[in-house]
């Protein structure tokens, strides 16, 4: 009934938690039914030491945080929780 979304910036369309820049997180309370979605709006401060290249924004929903699963049990779908926006900013 609760989970977090982690937001990252990446120079390429592939998430690398060791190299990409973590911007922050958003905490969610309450459930979300099968097939439902949600929309949030949140401002983050972009680090000033980034190159002027384009960056992809990644959102990782219910991250595993070092364990085999996140806070929400998803059976065989535990590892499909990250997506990048298709157009870099």
The confidence score (pLDDT) of residue 72 equals 57
The confidence score (pLDDT) of residue 48 equals 85
The confidence score (pLDDT) of residue 15 equals 86
Indicate the pTM of the whole model.
0.73
Low-confidence ranges of the chain (pLDDT < 70): 62-85
CA 23-66-3 angle, 5° bins: 60
Rounded Cα distance between 47 and 44, Å, is: 9
Bridge pairing between strands 82-84 and 56-61: antiparallel
The confidence score (pLDDT) of residue 9 equals 92
């Amino acid at each position: 009934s609760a989970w977090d979304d982690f937001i990252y910036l990446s120079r390429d369309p592939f998430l690398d938690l060791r190299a990409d820049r973590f911007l922050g997180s958003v905490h969610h309370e309450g459930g979300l039914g099968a097939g439902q979605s949600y929309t949030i709006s949140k401002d983050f401060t972009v680090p000033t030491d980034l190159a002027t290249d384009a960056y992809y924004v990644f959102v990782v929903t219910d991250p595993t945080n070092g364990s085999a699963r996140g806070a929400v049990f998803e059976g065989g779908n535990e590892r499909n929780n990250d997506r990048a926006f298709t157009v870099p900013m």
